[in-house]
Structure 1
Amino acid sequence: MKRKIIIILSVLFIIFMAALFIFYLIKGDSTRWQVALGGIFASALPLLLLRMKHNPFNIPIIINYFLFLFCSLFLGSISSFYLHYKWWDSTLHFYKGLFVGSVAISLYKHFIPEKVRNDVSAWILFLFVLSLSVFASVIWEAYEFIGDLTVTKTMQRGGNKDTMYDLLCGVAGGLIISIYSMIRKQKV
């Protein structure tokens, strides 16, 4: 079932982004066709999960990945939500913190054998989930900074204030999932 969902969502999103790529390439809109091209590659990434013997990510995480792509690439960049709605950027950074925290929990369950998990402190799990969320936020902000230096000047419209606000939103999302993981671990 998981295989089918990955294939269906990936193929649909690749077709969607390829159509946008062709449309904006013909139209001569270089910013949007570049985003659509990136969307083709980003939507193909989950297909790599099919090569794994045991995919650690459940169906909600896979669906949320495509939801994030749709909200950030299509709605945010191509449909200009980032420019028209100031809250859109911070909301996606908050969502990214929640999402990456959920990915961290899946990775923890995948790489730490079940019989060993009882010996792992709830605080270690808390720190792992929070660290991965914060790391993702820092990497994303570095990507925005490098993107503004090399390709566009629109990713960090607010400069340092935008960067810090985005980081705080990402950390807040990660903190919520970290606290949730710690509480769940303590109940076990």
Structure 2
Amino acid sequence: MMRKLIIILSSAFIIFMTVLFIYYLLKGDTSRWQVALGGVLVSALPLFLLRLKNNPFNIPIIISYFIFLFCSLFLGSISSFYLHYKWWDSTLHFFKAIYIGVVGIALYKRLIPENVRSGVSAAMLFLFVLSLAVFSSLIWEIYEFLGDLTFTHTMQRGGNTDTMYDLLCGCAGGLLIAIYSGARKQKV
């Protein structure tokens, strides 16, 4: 089931982004064809999970990945939601931090043996999840900054205010999932 889902979602998104890439390339819309080309590449990433003996991610994580791609690449960049809806960017930063925290928890459960996990405190798990989510926000903001320096000049239209607001939303999402993971660990 998981294998089939990854193949279907990845293939559909690759085809969708390839069509957009060709369309915007022929139109001469540099910004949009670059986003669509990036979409082709990142939608192929889950196909590498098929090579793993034990895929550490469940179906909701895989589906959430493609929802995030659709919302950020197609709706956000290509359909200009980032420009027309000021809340769109910060909402995606909030969701991304929660998503990365959930991915971190999944990897933690898959890669750390049960006998070792039982000795990890709720506070340590809280710090791990929070750090991972906040770090992802930091990396994303560096990506936006470097993108504006080299290619697009449209990723940080709000300058420092946009960066700080995005980081705060990422921290809030990370804090939310970290509290949840710490509370669940404490119950166990």
Give TM-score, length-normalised by structure 1: 0.99
1:128 aligns with 2:128: yes
Give the counterpart letter for 1:2 in structure 2: M
Q: CA deviation at 1:118?
A: 1.2
Structure 1 match to 2:18: 18
Q: How does 1:131-170 map to 2 (within 5 A)?
A: 131-170=131-170
Alignment of 1:69-84 (within 5 A): 69-84=69-84
RMSD of aligned alpha carbons:
0.6
Q: Find the counterpart in structure 2 of residue 55 from structure 1.
A: 55
Q: Which 5+ residue runs of structure 1 have no aligned equivalent? A: none
Alignment partners' CA distance in 1, 2:31 and 2:153? 11
Name the counterpart of 1:184: 184
The CA deviation at 1:15 is 0.3
- 1:89 maps to 89
Deviation for aligned residue 1:153: 1.0
Distance 1:151 1:140 in 2: 15
For this pair of structures, how many residues does the alignment match?
188
Normalised TM-score (structure 2): 0.99
Hey, what's the Cα distance between the residues in 2 that align with 1:89 and 1:38?
A: 18
Name the SS for the 1:109 alignment partner: helix
Moved more, 174-183 or 115-124: 115-124
Measured in 2, the distance between the counterparts of 1:29 and 1:139 equals 27
Asked if 1:36 corresponds to 2:50, the answer is no
Corresponding letter in the other structure for 1:134: V
SS of structure 1 residue aligned to 2:53: coil
Query: C-alpha displacement at 1:114, in angstroms?
Result: 1.3
Partner of 1:112: 112
Question: Using the alignment, how far apart are the partners of 1:117 and 1:142 within structure 2?
Answer: 32
Moved beyond 2 Å, runs of 4+: none
The amino acid that maps onto 2:166 is: D
Amino acid at match of 2:159: G
Query: Does structure 1 residue 65 correspond to structure 2 residue 65?
Result: yes
